[in-house]
Chains A and B, each alone.
Chain A
Amino acid sequence: MSGDHSDAPIAARVRHLERLLEERGLVIPGALDETLAAYLNRASPANGARIVARAWTDPDFGARLLADAPAVIAELDLSMRGGLQVQDLQVVANTDREHNVVVCTLCSCYPLALLGPSPTWYKSESYRSRVVREPREVLREFGFELRPEVEIKVWDANAETRYLVVPNRPPGTENLAEEQLAALVTRNGLIGTAPV
């Protein structure tokens, strides 16, 4: 159910199917790779960072983002499109009293269009099984020590909705422009395993 799937029987079947489709002229050789590459070129944590920087600088955008993320990210020409279906998105925002962290305990569901391919640890059994049970300890192992009074909300992306975290805006950034703010936002910040 987890880990590297490249040796799995399903991976061999997919490779075989792709070869047959190409041999019979149903798919242009290399077209699938090109499609995947084009998608992955657009899929990057820079997308998530743009969303966060806009939410920090435009409170109205931030509030609407929490209510209806798929519609609101379209204002930045972003979407959850790219795979076979458009995935649903919910954005959750950290505050001084609440911290959000995202996991998929069943596999490795992840907002790929906005964050790029997921990090290896996100797919590890260790992260997936432990962060729901002892998030404070897991975050500490990431070097992220939350104050004891901060309440932790874990989001298990076990179904159709993907989650993106808006981290707290770091102090001392009041004079930065939106692009400069976006440059501060990290992938782990968007998952909830690091502060920004």
Chain B
Amino acid sequence: MTFATGDRVRAKSVDPSHHTRLPAYARGVVGTVVRFQGTHRLPDDVIRGISSPEEMVYAVRFAAQDLFGTGDHSVTLSMWQSYLERP
């Protein structure tokens, strides 16, 4: 399952004990894919020495209102495929 520009996606609501590049402030929040950012290895696996193929990474734009409950700006983050699910 991959995503396309314009798709609505949710950052997974997880709290792993290992290193991750999924910032806590975005977890569980729905945003929109705005750009494809290539394929890269999942840092969560790299740090644990787990061998896994490269994954798609997407720029996902979130409304500040959805992230923080306030603000009229947006925040765009890079999200590995594994960090995302259909809302």
Contact = CB atoms under 8 A, between A and B. Distances in A.
Interface of A: 88, 90, 105-106, 132-136, 151-161
Given A133-B64, A159-B57, A153 B74 contact: yes
B16 interface: no
A27 to B, nearest CB: 25
Interface in B45-87: 57, 59, 61, 64, 67-68, 70-80
Interface residues of B, number: 26
Contact of A133 (B43, B57, B68, B77): B68
Contacts of B78: 156-161
B73 A88 contact: no
A86 to B, nearest CB: 11
Given A90-B59, A132-B67, A160-B37, 4 more contacts: A90-B37, A152-B74, A156-B77, A160-B78
Interface SS, A side: mixed
B75 A154 contact: yes
A48 B19 CA distance: 32
B71 A134 contact: yes
A160 B76 contact: no
Contacts of A158: 21-23, 77-78
B75 A106 contact: no
Contacts of A156: 23, 75-78
Q: Which of A105, A136, A156, A157 has the most CB of B within 10 A?
A: A156
Nearest to B41: A160
A151 B72 contact: yes
A144 to B, nearest CB: 14
A99 to B, nearest CB: 9
A154 B73 contact: yes
Nearest to A133: B68
A120 B30 CA distance: 32
A107 to B, nearest CB: 9
A140 B37 CA distance: 31
A160 B40 contact: yes
Given A106-B21, A159-B40, A133 B71 contact: yes
29 contacts: A88-B37, A90-B37, A90-B59, A105-B23, A105-B25, A106-B23, A133-B64, A133-B68, A133-B70, A135-B73, A136-B73, A151-B72, A151-B73, A151-B74, A152-B74, A153-B61, A154-B76, A155-B76, A156-B76, A156-B77, A158-B21, A159-B21, A159-B43, A159-B57, A159-B80, A160-B37, A160-B78, A161-B37, A161-B38
Nearest to B58: A159
A88 B59 CA distance: 13
